[in-house]
Amino acid sequence: MRRTEIAVVGGGASGLMAALTAAEEQKRQHRPISVLVLEAAQKPGRKLLATGNGRCNLTNMRGELSRFHGDVPAAEAVLGKYPPQAVVRRFLSLGLLCREEDEGRVYPNSGQAASVLSLLLEHLQALGAEILCEWPVSQISREGAGFRLHSSQGDEMLAQRVILATSGKAAPQLGSNGSGYALSKAAGHSCTPCFPALVPVICGENKRCKALHGVRCRGRVSLLGDGKLLGEELGEIQFTDYGLSGVCVFQLSRMASEWAQSKTVNGKCFTSLQFSLDLLPNYTHEELLGMLQRRKRLLPKSDSMALLSGFLPVALARQITKEVLEKAAPVEMLSPSDIEKTLLAAKNYTFTVKTTQDWNRAQVTAGGVPLSEICPQTLESSRCSGLYLCGELLNLDGDCGGYHLQWAWASGMAAGKAAASACKPPKPAKSSKPRRKPHAANR
């Protein structure tokens, strides 16, 4: 039966980083490299290749803790030890050039996620670590002080230490199946409710959504729970035939997803959720009102349906005025109240949250194994010694902009280093050479 010091279950971002860190730690200790990655899919890193629309947003130099969700206080030890600067240095040491773009986002200089994956795999191969693909782990059981790993095909393997780095439930088409939760529970862990995050939101205004399908507009998006502000984001809004998408909507979708599942947001109950869109966030109400009044004076015979056409995409401008004014008329026929109501709609265009798209459209899993059940510095399980957990399996997720991958890298480095440091070096083989008889003079 095959044996290894460290078995890493999962060949995604956190698993590959954990394996590489463990192998480097073994090399530093002048020990044989004994690290094995067990990946269920045909190839490792499929989800990594899809990150950042294929560009791989590695991390975010701002490193704001407010951009993480779940058991954030418990994760601070790892995030503090491996901040974005450390992640960038780590990749530079592997030979990956990086560049910082808008809002602190860091990408590989090549602009390709494939560059990140290929370097990780090349370094693992150079160190002598191995990757076994199509080896789905179905069970992990105790074997002395270590573990016996069972695959669904009937294969078995022994390991001193195991690092669980399976992904969550998001993007099952890329190999995510949530198997790590069952393995964690079998080891004595619990799991918080899981729900999709960084996911498009389905809204109740069907007719409006279909009319605006494909329109994009920059604006400020506010999420309201029973009229109370829960969060807001500025960025590009994408209108779809079912609701809303775009990065700024994604950032707020975690709360919408939680509410759709439990009618709570951050543990507080709300009867309804609503998006309020300020489609002209760079201008005050007074500035815009003056512009519209001027338009009425200069173009009195123009169609009232085109009142906002110089402000917004044509389809969006016409949809808003159609909803407010109901029928077309020359602009000179509009009352001050008509203009006021049209402007208010553009500054507070509301959509009712129904639910979110499912796991197939989600980028991230919210929820997972509580960090209170693992050591905050090493990520070793407090329920099963010798077992380490990292990445999306844990109850921590990050926003768009590199935060989620930052957690994958940081937790992978922490778990890999701790697991390798805890492994006992193999006992030296007993010499078969016969003992030398003492010299007669020494008897």
- CA neighbours within 13 Å on the CB side: how many for 171? 18
- The distance between the two most distant Cα atoms of the chain, rounded to a whole number of Å, is 126
Give the tens place of pLDDT for each residue, 250-265: 999 999 999 999 999 9
Rounded CA-CA distance 436/322 in Å is 102
What number of other Cβ atoms are within 10 A of residue 92's Cβ?
11
Residues near 52 by beta carbon (within 8 Å), at least 6 away in sequence: 107, 113, 402
Which pTM value belongs to this model? 0.92
Q: Tell which residue, 423, 410, 403, 424, has the closest CA to residue 18.
A: 410
- Residues 121-175: tens digit of each pLDDT: 999 999 999 999 999 999 999 999 999 999 999 999 999 999 999 999 999 999 8
Q: Is 300 helix (H, G, I), strand (E, B) or coil?
A: coil
Beta carbons within 8 Å of 250's beta carbon, 6+ residues apart: 198, 199, 200, 363, 399, 400
Give the model confidence (pLDDT) of 372-431 as tens digits. Answer: 999 999 999 999 999 999 999 999 999 999 999 999 999 999 999 999 999 876 555 555
Q: If you average pLDDT over every residue of the chain, what do you get?
A: 94
Contact 410, 65 (CB under 8 A): no
* Element counts in the chain: helices (H) and strands (E): 12, 22
Evaluate if residue 355 carries a pLDDT over 90. Answer: yes
**Span 2-196+362-422: which CATH code?**
3.50.50.60
| Tokens read off for 189 | 């862990």
| HSE of 371, CA atoms in CB hemisphere, 13 A | 25
From CA 391, how far away is CA 120, in angstroms rounded?
16
Minimal CA–CA distance to 196: which of 16, 355, 344? 355
Ranges of each domain in the chain: 2-196+362-422, 200-356
